[in-house]
Amino acid sequence: MTPLLQVNNLRVRFHSDFGDRIVTDDISFHVDEGETLGIVGESGCGKSVTNLAIMGLLSRNGTVEAGSAVMDGKDLLKLSDKELDKVRGKDIAMVFQDALASLDPVFPVGKQIEEQVRKHLGKTHQEAQQMILEDLRQVGIPDPQQTMKKYPSELSGGMRQRIMIAMALSCGPKLLIADEPTTALDVTIQAQIMQLIRGLAAKRHMSVILITHDIGVVAQNADRVMVMYAGQFVEEAPVRELFRNPLHPYTRALLAATPSLEDESGRELVPIPGTVPENYTFLTGCRFAGRCALKIDACDAHQEWREVLPGHYVRCCRVEAGLPKGADEVKEEAGAGTVCPGNTADVEGPAAAPALSEEKKEAAHV
C-alpha cells in the first residue's frame, strides 16, 4: 500500500547571528491511510520543526536543505507558497499547541473558520455557516450558534482547542498533524481532547501525526511510534511492540521516567541525567551517548538505522537481534538503578502506560 505521506532524508538548518545549526537530520518516515503515528521525545528534539517543514511553515531563518515529503504524488517541499496554500487546510491540516496564539484575536472564531471553508471549498456564506455549525457540534461545543460569535479571548483553553480542531477538520483533510494538542490543559480536558481527535479520525478514516513529549499519550492513542532524540529518530515500532520490548536506551529512559497508575511495585522514577545537546551539527556518533549508562567506545561512531525485528527499527550499536550486547552487564546496571528495564505490562487494545512489576522484570530485555 502506498503511504499517504512519505518523508525521506529531511534535513533542516536554522541560521542565526551565532552561526548555523542543523536541527533535524536524516529524517525519514511514512504515514499510512487511517493510521495514527506518534512522534515522541523531549522538548527541543525537533518534533515540531519536522512537521512545520512539511507544512512549509518554518520561520524565515529556517531552511530545508535536503529531503522530500511526498503526498498524493506531489513533493510538498518543492511547492510554491501559492501551491502550498491550496494544500494546507484542505489536504493536510495542523492543530497547534497554543490555540490562543494561533487564533486571530480580532475576529470571531466563526468568521475565522468560515474564511477557510469558503477559500478551499468554494461555499457560499450560508453553506459555510451550516458546515461550521455541524463541525462545532462534532467537536463537542455545547452552543455552537453563540460560540461562533465569540472571540478567542472569551473562551476557555479547552474550548479554544476544540475550535482549533473544528477549524482543522472543516475542509475534510486526509492528514491531521496534532502538535502537543493538550499543552496547558488540565488532565480531564486533555483526555477529552485526545478522545475527540481519536474518535473523529476513526469516523473520517483520517490519518494523524501526534506530536508529544508524553509517552503515555502515545501509548493510548497511536498505532505506531517513532522516538526522536536530538534531531534524529532513534527507534520505531508498533505501539504494543515498543512498550513490550523497547530497545534503545533513550526509549527505556523515557519509560523509566514515566509514572504509571498500573505499577504496583512501588518503583522510583528515574530521571534522565543531563539535557538534550543544544548543537549537534558536528556530532558523528550516538547523540544520546553523553547521557547513556550503556555507552561503549563504538557509540562514538556513526549509528546505522536498521530493522532488528519485523517492523522494529533502532539506531543503536548495542542492539543485536532485539537484545543489547553485554546483557549481563546491562542487568547489573539496571539492578543498580542506573537504567530502566523498559518493560511494560501486556496490553490489549491501545498500549497502557509503562508498568514494571517484579514478575515482569524477568521478561525485560536488558
The secondary structure of 212-280 as a DSSP string is: ES-HHHHHHH-SEEEEEETTEEEEEEEHHHHHHS--SHHHHHHHHT---TT--S-PPP-PPPS---S--
The helix or strand, by DSSP H or E, that contains position 8, with its residue range, turns out to be: strand 5-14
pLDDT in tens, 293-329: 889 999 999 999 999 999 999 999 988 644 554 434 4
Closest CA to 12 of 48, 69, 60, 66: 66
Task: Say if CB 277 and CB 230 are below 8 A apart.
Answer: yes
The phi, psi pair for 166, rounded to 5°, reads: -60, -40
Mean pLDDT of the chain: 84
Residue 349 has pLDDT above 60, yes or no: no
pLDDT in tens, 260-292: 766 656 678 888 888 888 888 778 899 999 999
Task: Say if CB 87 and CB 76 are below 8 A apart.
Answer: yes
CA dihedral 323, 325, 328, 331 (to 10 degrees): -60
Closest CA to 64 of 56, 83, 20, 46: 56
pLDDT in tens, 208-264: 999 998 888 999 999 999 999 999 999 999 999 999 999 999 999 999 888 776 665
Mean pLDDT over residues 10-38, rounded?
Answer: 92
Closest CA to 7 of 26, 35, 34: 26
- Looking at residue 331, its pLDDT comes to 39
pTM equals: 0.85
What would the grid cell of residue 270 be?
A: 528515574
Mean pLDDT over residues 329-335, rounded?
Answer: 40
